[in-house]
Structure 1
């Protein structure tokens, strides 16, 4: 008895249905779906406003840019000791509670995307206080933004571990809330 051929018979290939060609979505179809999404509240939204969000169009007259406005933020902290340029940079929710009026500045952010988020924070918005760099990372509290973004003073202090020699007081690179 001969071994079966490894090549397919032409008839078997002809019976196989070929997939339809992929169709690219047009910009109009995509923008229509985005507008539908923006008018519907997100799944699981609550009346308390915890999961509220808003998507706004920058310009309805031909502009293609859209901007998402966030109402809640995530502030990441490191509750366990970590030395940076010889200085311990740990900060936990307990350190925040120990501050006068339980208020402090969020300084030392040296990531451009995080800096831009800090600049977008508005007075009265809420943020999750997140512990990272620990045995059990997670959200440990909810805080309120009490002052909008302003220049981070640590970028100009040469003794500070967050000093940035390229930043100028006339045009500061870094912000804090």
Structure 2
């Protein structure tokens, strides 16, 4: 069984080929990983960064990707504004989205992560609007869920990094790097 941890950079697709590109091809996993037979366990949107697990074990892939297993996924989100206690409590209680109520999340404000790499292109900075980092742990995987949750409580996500999936973390992995789990 092969399982690898990959720190997916911003603007990279979570697949090995780019079938939907119009014009110049977009970066894919094949630009970073040359291991036959491994596939992404779950997804991470092109505009999100961070931990992506790849494996050749179908059972492990299903356990990671299928929401019924409720595997915890922790994200670091840079959000617009400074969420107050009421906004954080709303995330903890579950947020109503167009596709239903989210499960309760663990959430807390945090300092900018130590050793955080710069994003290319950088997040837009506005002098008149402060921003803040939060750590958010969810146990489901609705499409673009973290971004939709933070927007629903009035704090749109500016930058999103998946830090952990279950017990696996990004520790020691620079963007574009991978290691065996």
Give TM-score, length-normalised by structure 1.
Answer: 0.25
Q: Hey, which of these two has a bigger chunk of strand by percent?
A: 2
Q: Which has the larger radius of gyration?
A: 1
User: RCO (CA 8 Å, sep 6+): is it higher in 1 or 2?
Assistant: 2
Give TM-score, length-normalised by structure 2.
Answer: 0.24
